[in-house]
Each structure stands twice: as C-alpha cells, then as structure tokens.
Structure 1
Amino acid sequence: MSRIAIVSAMHQELRALLPALDKHQSATFAGRTFHIGTMEGQPVVMTLSGIGKVAAATTATLLLQEIDVQRIVFTGAAGGLGPGVRVGDVVVARELLQHDMDASPLFPRFEVPLTGRSRFPTDPDLSAALASAALHCLQHAAERIGETHLADFGIDSPLLHQGLVVSGDRFVATAAESEALRAALPDALAVEMEGAALAQVCADFGRPFAVIRTVSDRADDSAHVDFNRFIVDVASVYTREILATWMSGAVE
C-alpha cells in the first residue's frame, strides 16, 4: 500500500493530527521530523513544512526522495480572494500558481522559467476525493467544531470551493494587495504561501498531490485578527476531520 504524506505549514495543525497516528515512529532529515505510522489503517507520514515556498519545496523533496511517499496532501489556512469565498469555507486547489513569480521580460509574468507554464494542476482523483470528504465535514461543521466557535468567527453555512489557489512569499494582509491579486488573477480563489512550490516539486517528480485550505480571512486589513485561535479552533479541526473521513472511506 502506497504511503501518503500529510504536510502542515503550522505547528498547531500538526499537533492536532498526531494523536490520530498509530504505530508511530519518527525520522529526521534536514532538521525536519517525519512522523511515520498509520491513520485509519493507511500508511502515512506527517510532517511540518514550515512557512514559505522554499520550506515547502525542501520538505516535499525530502518526502519524495528520502521516504519515497507516493502522494502528498498539503493542508493549512489561506486568505480568501474569490467572490463568496468566506471565512470558514474550504478551498480544494485544482491549480496552483506562484503569484510573486515574475521573470519578465524574459518570460511571461507568473510563468516558471524553463517550464513553459505558470499553472500546475493537482491530481484530479485525489482532489475530488478530498473535496467529497470536505463537503461531508462542512455539512456537519456545527457538531464537529461547535456553534459557539463558529459564531465567534462569524461562520455560517460554510461552503466548499474548487479552483485556482495562488502562493507567494508574502502574507497578504491589506485590501490593496488582495485587490491587486484579484485584478491580475481574477479566477484565484485563495492565497497562501506554500502550495505552488509543492506543486512544482511534485510535477518534477511526477507524483500526485493535492492542496486543501481553510479560509481564515479575506486577505485584507483584518487578516491578522485572531489568526492563531482560528487555526486551533477551526482550521485544525476541519483538517483532522476531513482527512479521517477521506482515509476511512466514509464518503465516495
């Protein structure tokens, strides 16, 4: 059975996932601890990537070379960009793009030099399975997270979105920045700091991957408000429940 990597950008998410890991062993490469075991009977490795594109690319390369995982799922939070993408919603990426990649005039803006492309597609089957699990969990968000926690963050009837997610080495936290991204990339649903780097590495290795993000803010001037509490009370719970639902085969 092929091993699945579950990669978290933040400590809080990894801490929420580790109790679900059975037959736990660990290995260390390049200063990173890889937690190896099973979840819902499936072989997995969980690890912390750290924040940013270089950290994500290094982690993905180690997973593929040193541990030989066959699939990678990246989890975490993101800022909402698209219309109707609200705090508490979940975005499953279908494409990833580096919004801060600009080697013009040598190459078109956003294109990764020498690859001929700017958008890197996720694995369709893996993404569809995670989307089904996410939709199931969102339909039961109140009982899994608690109505009080949802109300604290203004979350009501959270939705699932699928499409373009953009990445860059900058925490987008002003209305001006998010408006500029929407103008340049009108189909972008969300912005984060790691996914497109993971996508480029997985494309180089020819390995399937998926990226699933909980929307923590609208990537504007309120983006810093209660961010850490949101990760603990909402995003980490979503991630744990979605992955468990997917791995258990509870939904098709």
Structure 2
Amino acid sequence: MDLAVRFAVMLGSRILVPAASFYETEVAPKVLKQFLESDVADLFRFVGSGSSLAEFSFEKIEQYRPGSPQHTIYSASPEQLVGWQQRTRSATKDIAAGWRERIASEATLLDFRRARPQAMTDGEFERAWLDVPERLGQEAFIVPHVLERLPVDPRNISTQNRLHRIVNREYFASYAKDFGAAVFQNMSVLGGDVVPSGRRHDDIDFGSLVKVCRASGILKRIRGCHVQELESLCFEQTFQEAFAMSQTGGYVQGSNDRSPSPMRVDLAILTALPKEREAVEAVFGTGHPFRVDGDPHIYKMIDFEIQGTVKKVVVAVLSEMGNVRAGVTGTDLLRSFSPSMVLMVGIAGGCPNPSHFSEHVRLGDVVVARSVLEYDHVKRLSDGTVEFRDSPQRLSYTIAQIVAALRSERTGFDTGWIASRDLALRHFNIDPENLPPDILYGADGIQLQHPSDTRRVLSPSIVHWGRIGAGDSLLKDPVFRDQLRDEHSVMAVEMESAGIRDAAWSRSCEVGVIRGIVDYCDAHKDDNWHIIAAVSAAAVARLLFETLAKADS
C-alpha cells in the first residue's frame, strides 16, 4: 500500500482518505504517517459525513457498541492531522443498496450457498441475506456486524474474505462517486477486481504501472526516496515514459474525449536501429517521412503493392534500444495509426543447439516468435537462486496460423522469402552467394561443428518458430545463453519484444516478433552479419504480410 500512496503523491492533485478507514484500521495510520508528517501533507484530505471530525466522530459513536475499539476511538476525540472535506452521500446507504443488488444476483448467493444450514430452505437463506441492511439498523455496515446477522459460521475465513470484497467494493464506490474521484485499478491486494470509479477516464492501471516502472529501473527509486522527493521525481523523463506506456487503453471507458481518429494503416513495423529500418525499406520499398500531430516521432510511410492493391506500411525506429523505449514508441505508433497488426523486425543473438539439429540456430537464420519471455523480470532469493516472474506469453494467433501454413517438412519453412532477401542484400552490395563464415564456439571457447540438416540444402538459412527472450541488457554470456535455451526453450535473445508485446496487448492489437540471427551472444560478437540478419528478418516479415493479404483478398 505504501507504493500506491507514493504513486498517488506523484500523480494526484488531491488524495482523499476516508476518515473511517484511517481511524478504524491499524494499516492506514502506519502507511500514511510519513506522508502526513511531511511537506506533501497538504495533498491529503480526510473525508466523512459531518462538517468536521468532531461532528463525524459523534455520528460514529452511535454506530458502534460501547466497549468496541471503534467506540473507544471516537469517544476519545481523535486528532485531525490534515484538512477535512464533508461528503454528501452516506456510505452506509450506498453499501446497503449495493448489498441488495449483489445478493439479488443468483451468482453471488451461489458462492455462499454451501454454508447454508441444512434446516434452512433456499428461500429462507436468501431472505436472511436480503434483510441484513434492515437488521443492522443504525450500526455500521461492516463485516463483523454483518456476520452476526447471517446464518453462516463467522469463523470461516473464506466467507469473511468474500464478504469483505462485497462490502469494500460498495464502500470505495460510494466515496469515488461522491467526489468524482479516480482510483487505482488492477491492484492485487483488492483481488484484481475492477473498482467502481467516479472518473473512469482518469483511473490508473496500478499493476501495469508497477511493471513498467520496474522494467525502466525507476521503481526502486520511487520506493526508496524520501516522500518529499516524489513530486519532483514524477517529472523525470524515465517516469513520464513509463507512465505513458503503462496507461495505454487501460480502464478508459465511456470517455468524452473526442480526439481525432487515428490514421488507418495495413501494417506497422517497429525497428530498434536505423540499419534495421533501412533493411525494411530495402525489402518493402523506400518510404517517405511522415508525422502525426501530437506524436513526437518521425515515421516512414511505405506504399507496398500486393496483387495490384496498395497497402499502407508505416515504419518506426527507436531512439534507443530497450524494452521500455520499445513500449513507449510502440504505444505512440499504435495510438497514431491504429494498425490491425504490428511487427517488431530486426536482429537478435541466437541460442545455438548443435546437439539437436532441429533446434539449432545459425547466423542468418530467422526466428519468428511463438512467445516472448522477459527473462530479466526475476526474483532473487536469499539462497542465491533466481525465479523468473514473467510467464512466456504467446503472441499473435493470426501469425501462428500463417506460420502453420508456411511451414514445410522438407525445408522447415516456405523459401519464398529468400528471393526478397537476396535482392535487398544486393542493394547493400552484399553477394548472397558469398556470405561471411559462420563460426560457432562453445561456452568453453572451443570451436564446434554445426550439425548437418537436410532442411538447409536449398538454402543455408532457415526460419524457426519458437520462443524469444527479451531483456534490458546486451547479452554476451554463452553460459547464461545456454541456460535460457535449456531451461526455457529460448531460441533468440534481444532487448525490445517484451515492450512492444505489452503495448500491443494493451490496445488489443495483433503483435509479431521476427528476428534475424546476428551473433551467438558471446565474446565473438561482431557486425559482419548485421545487415544480412536485418534484411533476412524483413524478408520473412514481407512473406508473412503478403501471405495474410492474399488470404484476405
């Protein structure tokens, strides 16, 4: 909860604290103490019924029995630490209304029906639940009071937790609606439920924000800095970019924003390096510079003809490598053009497997991602072991279908991409019949032989369908490379695909990752295969796009 408050200080103009939550729980005062005793305290307001805390306390005393912790707290005239704001709605009435609506739902009662006493009919059981608001009278609508009036075992933890979810949902909704307040969504502490909001278009996806801030490296600073530094930290570019990436699509529903509709394109391609963008243009055709109002990037727009129909292909290049930059640029790309599919196209390090020829990756090969693993999203344990926190996520179902149609038992994959590659290589004065040597070394530095593979008879370079690993560090460690290969079935390693994966997922856009193998992630890395690998990836991207376009025509 401390992190949520820190984000609120960085992003909010006012932070509303229900007085009942602060004075009736142990957690709230512990979490908020450092904020309320600092220079950021003026952001906070206690809210409750009554024109002051004294009036609020007087009303609360009537809702709790003498001797209860709450009655004792309010009888002692609690200290008001920050400003006060009176509310107009009644949380008790709002919870009661929400309770009746939820209990009237058959699905809700089914969750509790297993706890029904055998001597009680379903009708009697339902009536007991619906009567709770009336039977509470003037008492506070809190779970301990509710349990006393229900025919269930009050000691059952599962029942308690489910009741807390019902009551808390209506409680938060009452305050949010009263003040037109935005809320954090996607918080695991609340079970991941969508929280009712008073300003849906300003809600913040907490889970996504945490993930992107962690990937960008700024999360540790946010957690560890003094609370007075938070307001300035929010203006740093790293946080601004992380926030922009994390809030794509999000929980905006029913917004009155009437911003211009994005330009429609048939395909968006994202590259990490200028050479990769050049490779795409060599394969698809030269594009012209293109800008969109409100978007800081300069794109290349290509008119690409397929069977007499011109398709619009927009190409973007990152200003820097890395997952965060890919996510930010990808977010802007998707917002400006709203493509039905986006492809990350470029180079990657390969994870060779000479002991298994069918999984062996060589220089100049291309890996089309079946899934992406963010391999540096980890938990480091006290015993030195590392747990991967990112689960490999499958990418585009459409691309999976195209790959299935193009795979071949004899050649591994349709060789139609080779002609496009060879033509583009000549554009760079590279002879496709005289490529650089492909020398493989083991983790011990000893040169290894490539296994024989009949799929390479027609062309020494082939296309693989497998997992790609994405991290924020350039990998030149063959031991770790082999660990990723053996433990996680990773075939290629790069630095951007997790970012574009998350950006595309948040906007419900089909996403694919296509990587040409440029080195083996070891000390023998050089640039001899750079253009070759980039052009090869672009050529496979063209084949996939052409296949899809022809199938749709």
After TM superposition, the score normalised by the length of structure 2 is 0.39
Partner of 1:80: 350
| 1:206 matches 2:504 | no
Q: Do the aligned residues in 2 keep the contact of 1:130 with 1:242 (CA within 8 Å)?
A: no
Partner of 2:388: 110
> Using a 3 Å threshold, how does the CA distance of structure 1 residues 35 and 130 change in structure 2: closer, same or farther?
farther
| 1:14 matches 2:14 | no
Q: Distance in 2 between matches of 1:42 and 1:242?
A: 17
Post-superposition offset of 1:193: 0.5
Structure 1, unpaired ranges of 5+ = 113-117
Q: Do the aligned residues in 1 keep the contact of 2:287 with 2:300 (CA within 8 Å)?
A: no
1:154-183 deviation per Cα after TM superposition (whole angstroms, max 9, x unaligned)? 697112111111100111112233133335
Name the SS for the 2:275 alignment partner. Answer: helix
Q: Distance in 2 between matches of 1:182 and 1:17?
A: 28
Q: Which amino acid aligns with 1:189?
A: M
Partner of 1:5: 268
Decide which structure has the larger Cα Rg and report it: 2
Q: Which amino acid aligns with 2:494?
A: E
Q: Do the aligned residues in 2 keep the contact of 1:79 with 1:217 (CA within 8 Å)?
A: yes
Q: Which has the larger strand fraction?
A: 1
Post-superposition offset of 1:25: 4.6
Partner of 1:47: 316
Aligned mate of 1:129, from 399, 402, 412: 402
Q: Which amino acid aligns with 2:301?
A: I
Structure 2, unpaired ranges of 5+ = 1-263, 354-359, 408-412, 426-430, 440-455
Partner of 2:535: 237
1:20-59 mapped onto 2 (5 Å cutoff): 20-21=284-285, 24-27=288-291, 31-40=296-305, 41-49=310-318, 50-59=320-329
Identity in percent = 23
Partner of 1:177: 480
Post-superposition offset of 1:30: 5.8
> Using a 3 Å threshold, how does the CA distance of structure 1 residues 121 and 48 change in structure 2: closer, same or farther?
same
Name the SS for the 1:69 alignment partner. Answer: coil
| 1:63 matches 2:333 | yes
Deviation larger for 5-14 or 242-251: 242-251
Q: How many residues align?
A: 240
Post-superposition offset of 1:124: 2.5
Q: Distance in 2 between matches of 1:139 and 1:209?
A: 23
Post-superposition offset of 1:137: 4.2
- Greater RCO structure (CA 8 Å; 6+ sep): 1
Q: Which amino acid aligns with 1:195?
A: S
Aligned mate of 1:95, from 337, 360, 371: 371
1:161-176 mapped onto 2 (5 Å cutoff): 161-176=464-479
| 1:190 matches 2:492 | yes
Post-superposition offset of 1:198: 1.2
Q: Do the aligned residues in 2 keep the contact of 1:5 with 1:46 (CA within 8 Å)?
A: yes
1:48-78 deviation per Cα after TM superposition (whole angstroms, max 9, x unaligned)? 0231111110111111222222210011111
Deviation larger for 142-151 or 53-62: 142-151
Q: Which has the larger helix fraction?
A: 2
Q: Which amino acid aligns with 2:273?
A: M
1:200-222 deviation per Cα after TM superposition (whole angstroms, max 9, x unaligned)? 22222221110000111111221
Partner of 1:150: 435
Q: Which amino acid aligns with 1:203?
A: W
> Using a 3 Å threshold, how does the CA distance of structure 1 residues 23 and 76 change in structure 2: closer, same or farther?
closer
Q: Distance in 1 between matches of 2:463 and 2:325?
A: 27
